Amino acid sequence: MRVICNIERKFAGMVKLFCVPGGAASALAYLPWAKLLDPEIKLCLLEIAGRGLRRAEKPFRTMDEVADDLYSNLVKQLEPDDDYMIMGYCFGSVASYELYRRIIQNDLKRPFHVFYCASDPPDGNTYATSLFSDVRRQPEMIEVLERYFPEHVFSDRSMIEAFCRKYTEQCFKNYAENGKYVPVRPEQIYSDEEMESADIVNQLKSFEFANHTMSLFDVDQTIVSSYQNSPRDYFKVDTDITVLAGNRDTMTPLEDMRHWDHVAGRGFEIEVIDGGHLIMVDGYKNCVPVVNKAAQAFLRGKEA
């Protein structure tokens, strides 16, 4: 009984970090953060339908559907007296902003800090057009697909890189020809001779994953585009905000991310992290200390 009481006292001083994934991504991508978060911070994942542990579910088509589901998931993991933070990455940043709206509307205890990572603000226009319509985004789309790709499909990393490059280039070609996202067919990137090779069966499995991932990118981009281009009552976030920006992010430039100050109702700061658009994955070792710092400042304030 004494051990149980000690555990209860330890957890009573904890805060929760609710994490919302980016476009086409799973909240499971945040799991590596757990080993670097301070012991006082509990990692809580807010998965979105159509990916990760919820891949079998039908993807949402509107931001309202996404935000309503995030709120329902948040409430299930939140106790009345919990202190908590919210982290949103890319698509998940705008979704987190709408999640905050529902927190206000339902008079739920508000987070003491929110983080928006690698995203322009709700009233921005980065996603005004399709990702596949701008060839300047192609290199980072290739990089994103490489990071998401299951390594067991190919025998070595160079084969993954080659496939992702050919596949993504064809995605952009398909969009240019059809004016919309069209799944890539094997014969579009493999020659007749390659299609008859002994190891092609395993490689063909990669198309299911790649097409599923890119179709989610298209869905998520369409959701944000529709959201940003429709009349919207933008509100001030009455919580301290930290924006995490990659200094080499070409998909969402730093100057665009500065505009989050439009919706800041309290403290606002930008932390520039070394990395590109994928700082949540590749640069997480530099992101997590920012989260730890915010949590420790809050806990010290409670003790004062």
Distances (CA, A) of 27 to 53, 196, 262: 9, 38, 27
pLDDT at res. 19: 99
For strands 240-246 and 268-273, give the pairing.
Answer: parallel
Instruction: Provide the whole-model pTM.
Output: 0.90
pLDDT of residue 13: 62
The residue ranges of every structural domain in the chain are 2-123+234-303, 131-226
Per-residue pLDDT of the chain (304 residues; tens, 9 = 90+): 333 333 333 444 699 999 999 999 999 999 999 999 999 999 999 999 998 889 999 999 999 999 999 999 999 999 999 999 999 999 999 999 999 999 999 999 999 999 999 999 998 877 777 889 888 889 989 988 998 888 777 778 898 899 999 999 999 999 999 999 999 999 999 887 777 775 666 677 789 889 999 999 999 999 998 998 888 889 999 999 999 999 999 889 899 999 999 999 999 999 999 998 999 998 999 999 999 999 999 999 988 6
181 secondary structure, DSSP code: -
Q: Does domain 2-123+234-303 have CATH number 3.40.50.1820?
A: yes
The residue assigned the tokens 């500065």 is: 258
Helical spans, DSSP H, in the chain:
2-12, 63-76, 91-105, 138-148, 157-178, 186-189, 192-195, 200-228, 254-257, 279-282, 284-303
Measuring CA to CA, which residue among 45, 46, 49 is closest to residue 24?
Answer: 49
State how far Cα 88 lies from the chain centre: 6
89 touches 280 (CB < 8 A): yes
The span from the CA of 242 to the CA of 235, in Å, is 17
Q: Which residue has the tokens 């709120």?
A: 71
